[in-house]
Amino acid sequence: MKERKEIFVLKRLLLWSTDSIPPVVTVTSLQSSPTSLSTLLFKISFSKLVTGPPQSIGFAGATQNGGTIQLVAGLEYQVSATPSSQEGPVTITAPINCAQDAFGNRV
């Protein structure tokens, strides 16, 4: 009796997704305006997860404290700044390409 060998081929369906939509960033003050506080806190929020803290954040009318931007929650970071003077606006900006998502889409 001849032995019969059967070969089973399993086909795998590979699914992956691509994403071409960049994250959107929003910067908001955590203080009411006007304020006389010596340290100001700002929240930097993203519309989707980014691969690390935002880079090259711009400060006008203030200097960044501590040099770090801290992760607060999955999509939110926080940064503190010291106003340059007791009067006048303080502006924090998140420039183009300050962060990217896992697919390489930059803000």
Residue 35: its pLDDT value, please?
86
This prediction's pTM? 0.79
| Higher local confidence (pLDDT), 34 or 63 | 63
pLDDT classification of 41: cutoffs 50, 70, 90: very high
Measure the CA–CA gap between 81 and 76, rounded to whole angstroms: 17
Average pLDDT of the residues in 45-56:
94
Average pLDDT of the residues in 93-102:
92
The DSSP output letter for 88 is S
Q: Any residues with CB less than 8 A from the CB of 51 and at least 6 apart, and which?
A: 99, 100, 101, 102
One-letter amino acid identity for 99?
Answer: A
Query: Tokens 């070969």 belong to which residue?
Result: 7
